[in-house]
Amino acid sequence: MSDKNSIVREKSIKQPGSGRQFLNALFFILIIIGIAAAGYFLFLPKKESYTLKSYRYAVVKRENIINSVQASGTLVISKKQIILAPQSGTIKTMKVSEGDSIEKNEQLAVIYSQDLEDNLNEVETSLTKKARSKNNQIMQHKQKEEQFVRYLKKLSEKKLSASENYLSYKRLYNAGAATKKDLETAYNNWKAAQEAITDYKINSDEDLSYYKVTISDLEADINILKEKSAYIKEQINQCKILSPFSGEILEIYGTPGEYISQFSKLMTIADLSRPVVVLKIPENEISFIEKNQKAIISLGSKKYDGYVYKIALKAVESSGNYGSTINVEIHFIKPPDKVIPGSSVSVDILTGVKKNVLYIPRGAYLVTGSEHYAYRIDKNKAEKTEVHFGIMTDMKVEILSGLDEGDTVITSGYQDYINMNEIKLQSKGGKESD
């Protein structure tokens, strides 16, 4: 029993230094926790703050907004013509310079064609010879006719004498004073005189017909030569280049003394008083456009009234996988005084009016992309608010949702704080947008 008690006593005896070790361990754990807590609070992200010192703002209002299709285009000349050389030859004179204003039928240049001049001389020479031959044939024909008349007169007189002689012998024969042979001889003489007239007429008609045919052929040749002469003269006359309409000289391609081939470019003229604008409208917007719709044409810093004149009947595939476009022609109501063909223009085609819609002025707050936001002002702060925009004009943006009438929003750029949901506003730092 004394052994058991001694064993119990031995188990209950504490080892020297055990309590101190426990306290040291606890203290070490607390230090680690403290260091971890300090690091956590040290590196904990602080709530970001941004104060906007200067900005523009606007109040959401209601108003009618004119809906439009905006497009860029090119200023073209509806009446332009390249003048071609009508014949090959040398530019004899150039009577205009680039930029000159010209009137209809004004002489612009003269081309000298040696080939045409040679052809004309050849035809005129042939024409003179044919005319001379014709005159000779007419004269010979006339002489032949006169000879025919004279000789026919002699034959007629001879026939008349033979006829009288025959009648005389016939009376004598009936009275028994002439023989039958005398009568037959008189008759044969009269018959021979008559046949001589008939034969002569036949031969003379053949001779006279020859002259008539020859004269007729010569007249036909002369008419052909006259037509050729007139044609060549017209070609020579066309070498005096006249302006087909009033306008301006855009380009000149030749100089005096230079040889130029037929149908080569000589100059380009245009009527700059009637320019038009050609737009390429995307196919998804063409349904909004109709003929005679009003258009505002922006050319440089000036604006002009116009209207939709023509809509193409077929689409044209555009480059760069942007889909097809349709050409739309815009005419000026009052064209500019001076235009430069090929200039870039922008056009707003007014397609309708949306009445009593919410809007704010257009400004730098607009960004590209599928997400749109506005910073709505509430006292000295502004909250980021998702909005949906509708139609946009040069001055206004329609608000479909996200803002209410009377809300005030920042309209200056958001680029410095677009990732923040809320910003502070410096007192009196805002200025209302125009």
Task: For 138-171, give the DSSP string.
Answer: HHHHHHHHHHHHHHHHHHHHHHHHHHHHHHHHHH
pTM beyond cutoff 0.95: no
If pLDDT is split at 50, 70 and 90, which confidence band does 429 have?
confident
Kindly state the average pLDDT of the residues 98-105.
Answer: 95
Q: Residue 358: what residue type? A: L
For the cut 50, the answer to whether the pLDDT of residue 301 exceeds it is: yes
pLDDT of residue 114: 96
For the cut 70, the answer to whether the pLDDT of residue 18 exceeds it is: no
Architecture of domain 55-75+274-432: Beta Barrel (2.40)
For the cut 70, the answer to whether the pLDDT of residue 321 exceeds it is: no
- Report the alpha-carbon distance of residue 113 to residue 123 in Å, rounded: 16
What residue spans define the domains of the chain? 55-75+274-432, 79-113+240-270, 114-238
Q: What is each CA distance from 49 to 283, 378, 426, in whole angstroms?
A: 47, 16, 13
Higher-confidence position of 36 and 199: 199
For 197-225, the pLDDT digits (tens) are: 999 888 888 888 888 999 999 999 999 99
- Residue 339's φ and ψ, nearest 5 degrees, are -130, 160
Architecture of domain 79-113+240-270: Beta Barrel (2.40)
- Tell me what the pLDDT averaged over the chain comes to: 88
